[in-house]
Amino acid sequence: MLYIEHLTKTYGDKKAVDDLSLHIAPGEIYGFIGHNGAGKTTTLKAVVGILAYDTGGITVGGISQKRDPLACKKQIAYIPDNPDLYDFMSGIKYLNFIADVFGVSAEDRTARIRKYADLFELTGDLAQPISAYSHGMKQKLAIIAAWLHAPRLVIMDEPFVGLDPKAAHILKGMMRELCDEGGAIFFSTHVLEVAEKLCDKVAIIKGGKLIRSGTMEEVKGDDSLEEVFLELEGE
C-alpha cells in the first residue's frame, strides 16, 4: 500500500528525516512514535505530498508520488494534528466541498455523512458555522471529511488529541474497519498505550532516523512499548 524508500529531508544543516524506509501493507494499522522534533510530522507531510523532500521515493498503491501526485492524493486522506478548517463555512457545506473535490457522488456522500455524523453525534451541529465548533467538534468534522471519499490510505498526525473517550473509541473502530476492507492506516501518536493496543506494527523514529520497526511483538518483546521507547530514547 505505502512504500517509503530512503526518504531524506533537510532544513539547512539539519536532517529532519534521514534515509527513512518503511513499508505499510494493506490491512495494517501502523503507529509512528517519537519525541517532538523527531521527524514524524515531516515524514507524514512528505507522504501526503504537501512537503517536498530531498531524496528518496514514495509510492501509494503502486503509484509514484513524484510521477503522478494527483493519482496518489486520490487514494489518501490526511488529518493533521491541528486541522485547519474553513471557519466561515457550516459543517455540512465544508463536507460537501470536500466531497466535490474528490468527486464523491451525491448518493455516496449523503450516506457517508449521515453514517459518520450520527456516529460522532455531530448531525445536529452540521448547519452551524465551523467557527462555533469546539476543538473536539472540529476534530470530528475533519475525521468525517477524511473518510468521505473512501480512501485506501489514511495518514493521521496525533489523531486522538482533543477527542473525548467515546469519540476516540469510534475512531479506533473506523480505523480497524478500513483496514479489514483492505485499506491501511499510518498515524503518529504520543499515547503509547493506544499504540500498543491498536497497532499491528509500529516504528520508532529518533533524530530523523528509524531506530526500531516491526510487529508489536518484534518491537517490544516481553516489555511494554513505553519501556522500550524510553530505553531507546535514552541511548
Q: Detail the DSSP E strand segments found in the chain.
A: 2-11, 14-24, 29-33, 55-60, 63-64, 76-79, 153-157, 184-188, 201-206, 209-215
Sheet containing 76-79: which strands, arranged edge to edge?
76-79, 153-157, 184-188, 29-33, 201-206, 209-215
Residue 78 C-alpha cell reads as 490526511
C-alpha radius of gyration, the chain, whole number: 18
- What whole-number percentage of the chain has pLDDT above 70? 100
227: confidence class by pLDDT, cuts 50, 70, 90: confident
Task: Give the bridge partners for 23, in sequence order.
Answer: 3
In the predicted model, what is the mean pLDDT of residues 2-20?
94
Q: What is the pLDDT of residue 235?
A: 65
Q: What is the rounded average pLDDT of the residues 114-135?
A: 96
Cβ neighbours around 94 below 10 Å, total: 21
* Residues whose CB is less than 8 angstroms from the CB of residue 214 and which lie 6 or more positions away in sequence, other chains included: 201, 202
pTM: 0.93
DSSP one-letter string for 104-148: --HHHHHHHHHHHHHHTT-GGGTTSBGGG--HHHHHHHHHHHHHT
What is the set of domains in the chain, with CATH numbers?
Answer: 2-82+152-234 (3.40.50.300)
What does the angle CA 212 – CA 225 – CA 17 come to, to the nearest 5 degrees? 35
Minimal CA–CA distance to 138: which of 170, 174, 162?
162
Q: What is the mean pLDDT of the chain?
A: 93
For 137-186, write each residue's pLDDT tens digit. Answer: 999 999 999 999 999 999 999 999 889 999 999 999 999 999 999 999 99
| 3-class secondary structure, 11 | strand
